[in-house]
């Protein structure tokens, strides 16, 4: 059984908060710009993205993330959004800081943070926002996952198909994502070589690709039968997460 996108998100510009502009977030932002370009060409009103990140670019970010030597020392969110706006002719926004520092009125939050503590904080605050969807991307050294879930169900169910299936929250599907009792290594890397000891070069790209595919299907066709994926680069596998009752 499928999940259907609320019709309003096919009729007006979709407001998206991208939280985190590091390994997954920097590639996700670039992909969202390409997605927006394609959707607009097909008659969709498109996406409006607001990127949030409290960090500046370091030398260790170059190569694995979407930054160059000339970006070092600059706020990640500003660098990426300015580049995207110039390339695609957009007016997307960025904020050098945490997402809750700004008043939030988004249809969807895409979470690309790297700690359970940050996710738990988002989980505790997200219901204060109007967001309907939350997509979480996460990874370890060579594997990871993406899950799209609903923060709150659609109010007017009469406008949905009878076979519509609601999506569970990513953090109810994988509660370990917000488990702060497990110690985490948040020591910053001093260079790319050290960073690559912790994460494979293309692990972020492997997580972002199915994430963008899910969004493409959702906004292009208004429905999805899968809403997540588990990826492992060491085994060369990607296992989709089907909508409950749907086909993988």
Checking if the pLDDT of 61 tops 90, the result is no
- Would 207 be classed as within a structural domain? yes
CA angle, corner 44, sides to 41 and 50, nearest 5? 100
- Would 248 be classed as within a structural domain? no
Please give the average per-residue pLDDT across 144-167, as a whole number. 79
Query: So what's the pLDDT on residue 14?
Result: 97
d(CA 165, CA 243): 7
Residue 96 Cα distances to 53, 57, 128, 185, 215, angstroms: 5, 12, 21, 23, 26
pLDDT digits (tens, 9 = 90+) for 106-147: 999 999 998 999 999 998 888 777 789 999 999 999 999 999
- Would 136 be classed as within a structural domain? yes
Q: Is 107 exposed, middle or buried (0-12, 13-18, 19+ CB in 10 A)?
A: buried
Closest of 84, 97, 219, 94 to residue 148, by C-alpha: 219
- Would 247 be classed as within a structural domain? no
- Would 59 be classed as within a structural domain? yes
Residue 98 Cα distances to 43, 121, 188, angstroms: 33, 11, 18
Mean pLDDT of the chain: 87
Query: So what's the pLDDT on residue 198?
Result: 61
Query: So what's the pLDDT on residue 104?
Result: 64
Checking if the pLDDT of 229 tops 80, the result is yes
- Looking up residue 225, the CATH number of its domain turns out to be 3.40.50.720
Top-confidence residue, 243 or 63: 243
Mean pLDDT: which of 3-12, 64-73, 119-128, 238-247 is highest? 3-12
Q: Are 169 and 134 in contact (CB under 8 A)?
A: yes
Please give the structure tokens belonging to residue 75.
Answer: 């706020």
- Would 68 be classed as within a structural domain? yes
How many domains is the chain partitioned into structurally? 1
- Would 187 be classed as within a structural domain? yes
- Residue numbers of the domain that contains 180: 3-242
pLDDT digits (tens, 9 = 90+) for 163-191: 889 999 999 999 999 998 876 655 454 44
Query: So what's the pLDDT on residue 245?
Result: 54
pTM exceeds 0.85, yes or no? yes
d(CA 23, CA 99): 18
Q: How many CA atoms lie within 13 A of 163 on its CB side?
A: 9
Please give the structure tokens belonging to residue 83.
Answer: 């580049």
Checking if the pLDDT of 193 tops 50, the result is no
């Amino acid at each position: 059984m499928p999940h259907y996108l609320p019709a309003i998100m096919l009729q007006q510009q979709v407001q998206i908060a991208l939280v985190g502009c590091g390994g997954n977030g920097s590639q996700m932002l670039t992909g969202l710009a390409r997605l927006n370009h394609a959707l607009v060409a097909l008659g969709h009103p498109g996406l409006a993205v607001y990127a949030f990140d409290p960090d500046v670019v370091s030398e260790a970010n170059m190569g694995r993330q979407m930054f160059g030597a000339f970006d070092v020392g600059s706020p990640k969110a500003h660098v990426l959004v300015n580049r995207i706006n110039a390339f695609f002719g957009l007016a997307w926004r960025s904020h050098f800081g945490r997402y809750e520092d700004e008043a939030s009125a988004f249809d969807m939050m895409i979470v690309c943070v790297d700690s359970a503590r940050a996710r738990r904080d988002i989980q505790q605050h997200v219901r204060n926002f109007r967001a309907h969807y939350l997509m979480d991307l996460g990874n370890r050294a060579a594997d990871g996952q993406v899950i799209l879930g609903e923060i709150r169900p659609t109010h007017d169910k009469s406008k949905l198909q009878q076979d519509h299936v609601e999506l569970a929250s990513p953090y109810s599907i994988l509660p370990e994502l917000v488990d702060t009792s497990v110690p985490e290594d948040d020591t910053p890397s001093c260079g790319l070589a050290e960073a690559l000891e912790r994460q494979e070069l293309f692990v972020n790209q492997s997580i972002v690709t199915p994430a963008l595919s899910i969004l493409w299907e959702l906004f292009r066709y208004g429905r999805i039968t899968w809403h997540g994926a588990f990826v492992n680069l060491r085994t060369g596998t990607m296992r989709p997460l089907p909508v409950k009752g749907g086909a993988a």
